[in-house]
Amino acid sequence: MTMSQVKTVVQDSASVVSAIESRFSCRAFLPDKPVTRQQIDEILRIASCSASSTNTQPWKVYVLQGDRRDALVEEVCAAHDATSADSSLTAEYGEVDGYYPAQWVSPYIDRRRDNGWGLYGALGIGKGEKDKMHAQAQRNYRFFDAPVGLMFTMERVMGRGSLIDYGMFLQTLMLAARALGLHTCPQAAWNNCAKIVMPFIGAGSNEILVCGMALGYADESAPVNTYRTPRETVESFTRWV
């Protein structure tokens, strides 16, 4: 690249901000509004522009659509139903990966709880309504009806830094989806079924599941999609040194 090719101005900065601010975790998609392979390819190409430490690009993406998507959904939903009948099965389906802290502390546990109750509130699910909670959890394993499911893995040998790189890739991917009018929901829920997902998608034993993601067009009439999450103020997490 020559100096004259270095771009210092973003022509449409409002669009960049709009893509960021219009992204939310979409939990109801239009199942029959198709997403083309060309769109998925373009989103992945844009995502691949993400930064990664020493340009290691640790991401590996598996795309599920049509019959293969549906087959995984059925298998995992059956397993999910089985775990609610016998919780000892949980260990059989998930990999122990330390995704969440072993011990939750404030303020994170409080935000986590608020998020759960906020979501249940939008869905009209009250305390103790275990069947409804189970059904909502299972919506994850249907990719919230999105026609496209994505699975993200990386090689086990990679370190903690690669997960930082991965976060950048995922966020860029979600913003690229917005640029094409699509919505997403990143999904750690799939990690609970990693032992089913990994062989299904053909991932090697040298790979770990990072997370899944639903991709498609938002169902704008679904109440769950009206739920928006709050953010802490800049002052609360910033110290001017």
User: Which residues here bind ligand FMN, judged by CB under 6 A?
Assistant: 24-25, 27, 115, 140, 185-189, 211, 229
Q: What are phi and psi of 39, to 5 degrees?
A: -65, -45
Q: How far is the CB of 75 from ligand FMN (least distance, A)?
A: 18
Q: How far is the CB of 3 from ligand FMN (least distance, A)?
A: 37
Q: How far is the CB of 13 from ligand FMN (least distance, A)?
A: 21
24/200 with CB nearer ligand FMN: 24
- How far apart, in whole angstroms, are the C-alpha atoms of residue 217 and residue 205? 33
Q: How far is CA 68 from CA 31, 132, 147, in A?
A: 15, 27, 11
Measured from each CB, the residue nearest to ligand FMN is 189
Report which of 10, 235, 78, 53 is spatially closest to residue 159, judged by C-alpha positions.
Answer: 53
How many other CB atoms are there within 10 angstroms of residue 48's CB atom?
Answer: 15
Q: How far is the CB of 66 from ligand FMN (least distance, A)?
A: 22
Q: What are phi and psi of 66, to 5 degrees?
A: 55, -135
- How far apart, in whole angstroms, are the C-alpha atoms of residue 82 and residue 26? 26
